[in-house]
Amino acid sequence: MTKSKSNRLSPLWSLTLARLREFYRKPEAVFWVYFFPILMVVALGVAFRNKPIEQITVDVEDSPQSANWIRALELDSRVLVSSFDSTTCRKRLRTGQSDLYITPGEELGSVSYVFDPTRPGSIVAKDLANRLIQSAAGRTDPVAVNIQEFAEPGSRYIDFLIPGLLGMGLMGGGLWGVGFAVVDMRIRKLLKRFLATPMKKSHFLVGIMTSRLFFMVPEIILLIVFSWLFFDVRVYGNWFAIVFLVLLGAVEFSGIGLLVASRARTLESVSGLMNLVMLPMWTLSGIFFSYDRFPEAVQPVIKLLPLTPLIDALRKVMLEGVTLAMLVPELLIMSCWAAACFVVALKIFRWTD
């Protein structure tokens, strides 16, 4: 019985080993799987890093009150103050050379702030300039205010981004790594050769999925470690939970990749199908920003997409320390996608055209 079991599993093991060797002999594949996600982290992490407010440029229109306003604004080192006539002030604001310009108001002693409400920097400049000028004029507030800046790991954009990139990597790896490989084998007539062997369809499909898992787990670990070393991204949850989610996500998207490639005959057709599948998740599932921005009417549909529960679960574990027992809805959706796609792929898969 042991020998029979060994013979039954040998096609699965042989195919998995062959896929591993084929992958690591392609430097370009290694780059896209392991190093491209790191480049994404570096680029987006630097672009959205936590940093102090940049210097604000404020122009003051020449008037009898301008000297007092300039003195008040110069109390804050972040404000760069200049004085010009009305025409120059308006031109500088229009061309983006200043964030705000200040002019006397209609009432005696009043102040008017001219700014562009569509520019975040302009709004910040208006609020800061108003606070400085009002304080210099002796403003008294009825309630004492203590302002504290909050910048704790877990609250930054890079902390929000990393789980999204992990999910994106699992989605891309499953669809492209599995679906593209299967169609490539079909084009090269390798599947026709497998048809002449005792290998079953289940052996082949499981072998393709298993080999993909060997690629994905190191990719995810590398991305998390790199984010921790260079951006201080911390994991507040259990590492076992993260590994479990990664494995389940890999199986889920490998199953979707198999389903997409089960009948595709050309690289063009499978590429189109994969892009069709991934585009809604790229846009809606919350990789780069929260899907809460979309209308409430479509959010139930968004939460049922394969990628959404994976990213939600990763964020809850990494940022909130949630356990797997608290992620039953997400795990159930992912498991249903994985099982349904694999069963359907196994049903409709063809070795040849």
Looking at the structure, tell me whether residues 164 and 242 fall in a common domain: yes
Q: What is the CATH number of the domain that holds 111?
A: 3.40.190.10
Q: Same domain, yes or no, for 97 and 178?
A: no
**Within a domain: 144:** no
Q: Is residue 108 part of a domain?
A: yes
Q: How far is CA 104 from CA 68, 72, 86, 94, 206, in A?
A: 12, 15, 10, 19, 75
- Decide if 96 is inside a domain: yes
Examine residue 143 and state whether it is found in any structural domain, yes or no. Answer: no
| Domain stop point among 136, 167, 183 | 136
Residue 114, domain extent: 56-136
Contact 201, 349 (CB under 8 A): yes
Q: What pLDDT is stored for residue 155 in this prediction?
A: 57
The CA distances from residue 278 to 20, 232, 283, in Å, are 25, 30, 9
- 89 and 157 both lie in a single domain: no
In a domain, 62, yes or no: yes
Q: 210 with 120, same domain? A: no
| pLDDT reported for residue 150 | 41
C-alpha–C-alpha distance, residues 65 and 199, integer Å: 88
Q: Is residue 329 part of a domain?
A: yes
User: What tens-digit pLDDT sequence spans the chain (353 residues)?
Assistant: 444 554 455 666 666 676 666 666 656 556 655 666 677 666 555 555 555 556 788 898 888 888 888 888 888 888 889 899 988 888 887 767 788 888 887 777 778 888 877 666 777 888 888 888 888 877 665 534 343 344 455 557 778 888 888 888 888 877 877 777 777 778 777 777 777 666 777 777 777 777 777 777 777 778 888 888 887 788 888 888 998 998 899 889 888 888 888 877 777 777 778 888 888 888 888 888 778 778 888 889 999 999 999 999 998 898 888 899 999 999 999 999 999 988 898 888 776 66
Is the same domain home to 238 and 342?
A: yes
Same domain? For 98 and 207 the reply is no
The reported pLDDT for the residue numbered 153 is 53
Nearest Cα residue to 242 out of 319, 153, 332, 156: 319
The reported pLDDT for the residue numbered 143 is 38
Domain co-membership, 117 together with 256: no
Q: Is residue 109 part of a domain?
A: yes
Q: Which of 22, 24, 45 is nearest to 33 (CA)?
A: 24
pLDDT of residue 147: 39
Cα gap 112→106, rounded to integer Å: 8
pLDDT of residue 34: 63
Predicted confidence at residue 51, as pLDDT, reads 54
Per-residue confidence (pLDDT) for residue 334, from 0 to 100:
94
Residues 173 and 113 in one domain: no
Residues 221 and 343 in one domain: yes
Residues 246, 248, 253, CA angle at the centre, nearest 5°? Answer: 95
Residues 65 and 31 in one domain: no
Both 73 and 181 in one domain: the answer is no
Q: Is residue 141 part of a domain?
A: no
Number of folded domains that form the chain: 2
Which of 137, 128, 119, 123 has the alpha carbon at shortest distance from 81? 128
Verify that 160 and 225 share a domain, yes or no. Answer: yes
